[in-house]
């Protein structure tokens, strides 16, 4: 784990051969069924496209612990999934106190991402109307295509 000048905690798998030579796919990840669906779909898409994958995990306000921050056993599982994917990968856990959508948008801009994958949860009729603040922010702020995946999505 290395310190980053902008307050990021950046952990990487094998260093990419040349970041410029391959595309990048961002996955907004939290340790939930929706996050797992986004990660599985992100890995599938990255393999299909021959891209590296950057997983962004952050909580509102830059919390360093809590149910949405990947740590301990959940972090070990995430690292194992990424390692067995065979993909070049990086995990970012920004600690700057910003909203998750801002961190995902920044990661997409910094890496020149071709796609952002996020998980979506089932919404009530009113929730569907307003979509959800984080998802809506991501859709509005990210300059590349966004793929939203349901936890119950069956890829068979």
Instruction: Give pLDDT, residue 136.
Output: 82
Work out the average pLDDT over 122-133: 59
Work out the average pLDDT over 113-133: 73
pLDDT at 6 over 50: no
Where are the domains positioned within the chain? 23-150
Over residues 66-102, the pLDDT tens digits come to 778 898 999 999 999 999 999 999 999 988 878 889 9
Outline where DSSP puts E strands in the chain.
2-3, 8-12, 24-28, 52-56, 89-94, 115-120, 146-150
How would residue 137 be classed by pLDDT, with cut points 50, 70 and 90? Answer: confident
Task: Select 23-150's CATH number: 3.30.2000.10, 3.40.50.620, 3.40.1360.10, 3.40.50.450.
Answer: 3.40.50.620
Instruction: Give pLDDT, residue 128.
Output: 53
Closest CA to 111 of 149, 142, 68, 156: 142
- Which residues are CB-contacts of 50 (< 8 A; sequence separation ≥ 6)? 22, 23
């Amino acid at each position: 784990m290395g310190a980053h000048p902008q307050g990021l905690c950046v952990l990487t798998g094998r260093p990419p051969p040349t970041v410029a030579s391959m595309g990048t796919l961002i996955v907004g990840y939290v340790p939930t069924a929706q996050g797992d669906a986004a990660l599985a779909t992100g890995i599938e898409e990255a393999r299909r496209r021959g891209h590296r994958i950057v997983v962004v995990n952050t909580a509102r306000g830059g919390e360093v612990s809590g149910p949405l921050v990947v740590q301990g056993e959940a972090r070990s599982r995430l690292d194992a999934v990424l390692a067995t994917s065979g993909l070049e990968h990086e995990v970012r856990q920004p600690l700057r106190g910003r909203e998750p959508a801002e961190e995902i948008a920044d990661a997409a801009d910094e890496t020149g991402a071709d796609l952002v994958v996020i998980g979506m949860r089932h919404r009530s009729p009113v929730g569907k109307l307003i979509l959800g603040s984080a998802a809506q922010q991501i859709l509005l702020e990210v300059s590349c295509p966004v793929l939203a995946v349901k936890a119950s999505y069956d890829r068979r």
